[in-house]
Amino acid sequence: MTRFWRAAFVLYALALATATHWPGLTIDAPIKRPDLIIHLVAFALWTILLARAGLVREPIRLRRLALLVLIAAAYAGVDEWTQQFVHRTTSWSDFSANLVGIALGTGITLAFPPRPAPPARPAP
């Protein structure tokens, strides 16, 4: 099952990187700054998928959880910073929404932890 989550994470991460670096992308919506909601949800899902890909296992250890948050926050910062090189805007409010999404994804991971991996079968 971990193989599935790893593939899902890689595909999602590639799609997210493409979407966040698409030049001139605009979002029309009836609310002001809909991009902040999208950032929050996108990075919550990114964090959940990374955790499910095998970074966080049960029993959940604080060290692995901290690593999850650090990796996600570092990626969110790099993702936001590099947008300026493809005619997009680097924004502290977008980065903040990313961080809130990471916190939400971490909370969901804690609330619904991954199942423990089955024991390895002994070699015949």
Q: Where are the domains of the chain?
A: 2-111
**pLDDT single digits (tens) 7-60:** 999 999 999 999 999 887 777 778 788 789 999 999 999 999 999 998 777 777
User: Is residue 70 exposed (0-12), middle (13-18) or buried (19+ Cβ within 10 Å)?
Assistant: exposed
Q: Is the pLDDT of residue 118 over 70?
A: no
Return the pLDDT at 95: 96
Measured between alpha carbons, how far is 34 from 55 in angstroms, rounded to an integer? 30
**pLDDT single digits (tens) 68-117:** 999 999 999 999 999 999 888 889 999 999 999 999 999 999 998 877 66
Alpha helices in 21-116 (DSSP H): 34-50, 62-82, 92-111
